Chains A and B, each alone.
Chain A
Amino acid sequence: MNENKKATLFIQCLVDTIYPEVGEAMVQIFRKLDVNLSCPTNQTCCGQPAFNSGYRKEARKAARHFIQVFENAEMIVCPSGSCVTMVRHHYPELFTNEPHWLQRANSAAARTYEFTEYLVDVLGFEDVGAKYHAKLTYHDSCHLLRGIGVKEQPRRLLSHVQGAEFIEMNNSDQCCGFGGAFSVKYADISTAMVTEKVKNIIESGADTVVGCDMGCLMNIQGMLSRMGSKIKVKHIAQILSST
């Protein structure tokens, strides 16, 4: 096991601005596991919104800022598979024509981990001593699953939560229809997609839906709230920090 556990927090902008409690839950878990934490307070956004909309110049600007901010971090840990996909896969693409920056981008990519990936694959924890009484179901976020191949880690972590019953929903790996700007620009399609996702969540019989990405969860929560549903929406850190 890692004797000298270290993590530099890379806080997804949605967590920073709308869901700070998710970041705090993550901090709580890391403190419990004796992970040395640091958190650059001048970080902002990885640039994915611009990149996904095609604005590469602007995304590059955001990437440069990120790379500089996290230049000295050994282990960069983020509670979002989507942001990690951006750093790990798309940063190097952005700098193919700038060798100096490409090197720095590759370095940042190699040091960046998603939260559950870091817990299970790097630290070797599957049981973090959490207790949470609920029927849980899990939504696979697209970029987490297909972008960086994280599927089992969150499930293993959840399987060790005392008091929790885990139920797989149908098509847990189907996109919830968030897609960033897509959810606003193509609202009809996005709505149809999240409607199906929410239907699968409800039909699973779970009272809490868990995910590893606040983008998807915000979308799912938004619809459940509009429907007046009692189903709770939680980031996995919020489950794992409960005792």
Chain B
Amino acid sequence: MTEITTENYLSEAKRAIKNQVLQNALADLQHRFGTETALAYQNLPEGPELRFKAHDIRMHTIDNLDVILDKLAENVRKNGGHVFFANNGKDAIEYSLRIARKHNVKRVVKGKSMVTEEIGLNSAFIESGLDVSETDLGEYIIQLAGEHPSHIIAPAIHKTRNDVGKLFSEKMGIPYITDPAKLTQAARKALREKFLAADMGTSGCNLACAETGHITTVSNEGNIRMATTMPKVYIAFMGMERVAARLEDHDVLIRLLCRGASAQNMATYVSYIGGPRYPGQADGPEEFHLVILDNGRSRILADEDFREMLCCIRCAACLNVCPVYGKIGGHSYGFTYSGPVGAVVTPLLVGINKAKHLCLGETLCGACKDQCPVDIDIPRMLLALRSKLAEGDSVWGVTPADRKEKSMYRAWSWMISHRGVYDLFLKMAAFGQKFLPQKEGMIRWLPPPMNGWTQSRDMKPIASESFLQRWRKGS
């Protein structure tokens, strides 16, 4: 399992905000993709309303996931592929290591995959003595640096060209260069050798199609095609929800995926892989394995409040518009998934109490929902998570996060049901605030727990007479 550091949300966020390089990169990323993706939806032949249709398609699929996965498995096997259903990361890792041993695999090339990040496949492979290379340029940079991706689609946005130049010079023994084209060429050369020498390729799965028995992978670099074409064994890993029932559903979703991810009409490469090499074909893997992973997803499926989250196709469109992500970057979220999607998925996968800051640390501004290609109501689910944190929840094993706050709100709810008491409270507060430092009619400092406000902002004092007091007098 990948290390979970969701508790450090506040300190990591603070660190990210102070990192000016990261701030510029995030601003640039959001400026480009945020606007362009919205425009790409507008330019769809069906218009942006296609997102709502896509939502219905996804929801209907998830509601019938059992029979659709059965069909997928049946058809992949018919095409000559192997299907393995993994209850958790451990099962998936054990299975893939077994395949690796069977084929005497030494070198593995990986296509970018969030789900293998989620289960920590890399470190498990490395511990077993395999030579593992990430092959997406961004992921390769991250791997050389010994870090984790900070964005689903652009894993290395937190690195500058100078960082990459230094890293390549150090790890690849090449002269220090900073031109992105030359750095890309250096990686192309190094990774080409890896592709050609690899015995096994792995990738994720963007979206499988049950009726044909294919998985689809999407990339711009061509690394996934390399990893799925050149080595003799290929294993694809998919989260169990990443399936479309039929081609007509696949049509809607793949077009929205490309637009959501990078405002493209179509990614450079989309591959439909449905089995191993057939006799007479010159290339392709001898064996094709599809690992379908649960790892906590069936628990999400069982809860009506959160089932909708399984509609997510991991395009990262929400990251590109989230004003919170735009400030704190991906690492603050402390697990594989960042941004709005991470704020819901991570607590459900690693524990709601453990990841409470992810549930609470947003403004519920709703930009994510509007940009989501399948119109997932992320704010609704953040609210549902918050209610579990507030009240506790036996199904998810949540204990109330803040009992003091809970009693505060209880008292508050009684007070606001009684206007007289409320007026009295306002009177006291208006009196109390006179002792606070003020300047030009604005309060400069508030005591804890309100001091977060005044660390950067002033506050207008409570009026000596409320509107309703004035109204009572006036009418």
Interface residues, chain A, with chain B CB atoms under 8 Å away? 9, 11, 15-20, 23-24, 39, 41-45, 47, 49-59, 61-62, 64-65, 142-143, 146-147, 173-175, 177-179, 181-196, 218-219, 221-223, 225-226
Contacts and interface: CB of A to CB of B under 8 A. Distances in A.
Interface string B449-461: 1111101111111
14 contacts: A17-B462, A20-B470, A44-B419, A53-B360, A55-B390, A57-B391, A59-B413, A142-B363, A146-B366, A175-B363, A179-B365, A185-B360, A185-B449, A193-B363
B323 A175 contact: yes
B17 A188 contact: yes
Given A52-B383, A53-B386, A192-B17, A20 B466 contact: yes
B463 A17 contact: yes
A24 B467 contact: yes
B334 to A, nearest CB: 15
Contact of A65 (B365, B416, B426): B416
B104 interface: no
Interface of B: 10, 13-14, 17, 323-324, 327-328, 360-367, 369-370, 383, 385-391, 405-406, 409-410, 412-417, 419, 422, 426, 440, 442, 449-453, 455-463, 465-468, 470-472, 475
A18 B461 contact: yes
Contact of A41 (B360, B361, B457, B468): B468
A184 B360 CA distance: 12
B367 A226 contact: no
A56 B391 contact: yes
Contacts of B422: 44
A50 B455 CA distance: 24
Contacts, number: 191
B452 A184 contact: yes
B386 A54 contact: yes
B13 A186 contact: yes
Main secondary structure of the interface of A (DSSP, over half): helix
A16 B10 CA distance: 33
Given A146-B367, A185-B452, A18 B460 contact: yes
Contacts of A191: 455-457
A65 B367 contact: no
B360 A39 contact: no
Contacts of A196: 323, 327
Contacts of A57: 391, 413
B466 A62 contact: no
Given A16-B468, A175-B365, A219-B457, A189 B452 contact: no
Contacts of A178: 363
Contacts of A194: 456-457
B416 A146 contact: no
A5 to B, nearest CB: 17
A226 B454 CA distance: 9
Nearest to A197: B323
A56 B387 contact: yes
Nearest to B456: A191
Given A189-B361, A192-B17, A44 B417 contact: yes
A36 B24 CA distance: 52
A44 B467 contact: no
Contacts of B415: 44
B419 A43 contact: yes
Contacts of A49: 412
Determine which residue in A11, A18, A53, A196 has the highest number of CB atoms from chain B within 10 A of its CB, and name it: A53
Given A54-B387, A61-B417, A175-B363, A189 B409 contact: no
Contacts of A23: 467, 471
A39 B471 contact: yes
A225 B442 contact: yes
A52 B387 CA distance: 8
A16 B467 contact: yes
A192 B327 contact: yes
B472 A41 contact: yes
A189 B456 contact: no
A58 to B, nearest CB: 4
Contacts of B449: 184-185
A67 B323 CA distance: 34
A19 B10 contact: no
A182 B328 CA distance: 14
A16 B388 contact: no
B329 to A, nearest CB: 11
Determine which residue in B327, B442, B467 has the highest number of CB atoms from chain A within 10 A of its CB, and name it: B467
Given A11-B467, A11-B468, A43-B468, A62 B406 contact: no
A225 to B, nearest CB: 4
A221 B460 contact: yes
A57 B411 CA distance: 12
B216 to A, nearest CB: 31
Determine which residue in B362, B383, B442, B460 has the highest number of CB atoms from chain A within 10 A of its CB, and name it: B460
A59 B414 CA distance: 11
Contacts of B409: 50, 53, 55, 58
Nearest to B332: A189
B370 A146 contact: yes
A56 B390 contact: yes
Contact of B413 (A43, A58, A225): A58
A221 B453 CA distance: 12
A147 B383 CA distance: 14
A17 B10 contact: no
